Chain A
Amino acid sequence: MKIMHTLKKYFSLYLAMFKASFISDLEYRANFFTRILTDVFWYVAQVTTFEVLYHHTEKIGDWDKYQMRVFLGLLFVIDALYMIFIHENLENLSEKVRKGDLDLLLAKPVNSQFMITLQKANTALIGNLLLGGGWLIYSLHSLGDFHFARLFWLILLIPCSLVVIYSMRFIFSASAVIFTRSENLQFLWWQVYRIGMRPDSMYFPWFKWIILTVVPVGVIVSLPARALLNPPEFFYIAWPVILVPILLYLTNRFWNFALKFYSSASS
């Protein structure tokens, strides 16, 4: 009963924060379009890279051009969801630490990790989600023999992917509490994330094992893509589900550890 009450409280708090974000985003209408444009360039970069490479080879890893398009479609959708709900919060954490704004969040009578993670939503990026979704549908349609019932796996696997991105990004961002100035560690996250933006099958077996387990960026897109493209395999479906509570627990431990290093910067 108490858990339900807490969940309800946090849900209504999140709704209020989401509404506030939406209103604030509407204030800068041009930003809506530039944010979409920015991601269009990113999509173009990803698609161009693989289209150019497939001009010279038939397969990369064990996937052909059409399967790679599905992989990219999933990448765009998962990335757009992450960008809408989480990205901006973690991106600004370093700044909050330096300016002392973190004090305000720590002083609130709610879980500080919750506030840091979900305080601001980037509603301008809903357009990107539509674009990414459009590309995914197009790429699935061009596969020809796709079983659309497999899309149901995404209901389970996309939230798992979001938790994996969140957890890894959170650990990079929370390091700002320890090191104070760590912008380049944040850029380092981008490089790690890039590993997951390529299909796991193109990596050497030992490296594939690492990115599916120790640094699980391979779980983010490769496993949902496998669930869509191949007949379901128990490990590929179960592993992300097992990983979610482990990663959430680790982020919470890391956050509490990092806070021990925090000395307020505000005067």
Chain B
Amino acid sequence: MKKSFAVFLKRNLAFAKLAIVSNLEYRLNYFVDAIVQPLLTTGIEVLLWFAVFQGAHTTTINGFGREYYLSYALWGAFFARIATSWMYEFRMIEEISSGSINSLIVRPMSFYEYYLSQLLGYKFITTIISMFVPVIAAWIFDLPTIYSRIPLAIVLCFYYLILVHTISFIVSSIAFHLTKISSFTVAKNLLLWILTGELFPLDLIPDPFKKIIITLPFSSGVFLPVGYITNRVTHAEFMQGFVSVTIGLVLLNFLGAVLWKKGLSSYTGTGA
């Protein structure tokens, strides 16, 4: 049992390393992905919040001052980079649609773990490289940030990432039955764009929608970790995120397993 776990761990570490190496191969591409994009997003959101406060003629919105919103915009952009999966989901779909999955399903590993480890490896290196920016910016501009809460916030975001991967697994399983499904990825990510709190802090939504949306596991991607760091949410509310993600993982993994099994049984590898 111990030995098989060690093999499992070693194999998955190798997948994660593979993702790190292959992403760092094209450095300009990676630099844009990890640093430039979230910086631009932050810039756009910061300008929006300046305009909102100017129009509101008030010092606080929903009980928080402008600095809290600027801090949210800063951290939100970087957590959103971690919590979103485009590239690997497209690859998973492509793998199934093109039939190149044949070479993966004959190996002694699962398709799910192969891509999960790669996704986690890629996000791990992205976190290390990109997190310097919000930390330094928050320090220079003295934005409300509780630095001691950052590690736990990152843990929740990575836990949520497993849920994101499970959704990618479900979407890619549909590729066994339908040929063109990349727009599913776009639709799903746009929906998550709203539900994670990347666009605006979820506590600005009027009740009762606010409560429902925050209770969903998707708020663990951006709103809860960023809210925790910027002191918008309490420790108890933040910990609730782990519970909702766990429930989401159980339900979606079950659905994923069923769809995958169904998809594999209808799949014919051509061996091209």
Contacts and interface: CB of A to CB of B under 8 A. Distances in A.
Interface stretch (A31-39, A105-113, A145-153): A31-39
Interface string A202-214: 1110010000000
A49 B30 CA distance: 29
A237 B37 CA distance: 32
Contacts of A34: 180-181, 183-184, 187
B47 A192 contact: no
Residue from B30, B32, B51, B61 with most neighbouring chain A CB atoms (10 Å): B51
Contact of B190 (A41, A61, A183, A184): A41
A58 B53 CA distance: 10
Interface residues of B, number: 39
A33 to B, nearest CB: 9
A259 interface: no
A52 interface: yes
B126 to A, nearest CB: 12
B55 A179 contact: no
A201 B180 CA distance: 40
Interface residues of A, number: 40
B239 interface: no
A31 B183 contact: yes
A178 to B, nearest CB: 11
A117 interface: no
Contacts of A28: 179-180
Contacts of B194: 41, 44-45, 48
17 contacts: A34-B180, A35-B183, A38-B186, A41-B187, A41-B191, A44-B194, A52-B206, A53-B48, A57-B52, A57-B53, A60-B51, A61-B51, A181-B26, A184-B32, A194-B41, A195-B44, A207-B47
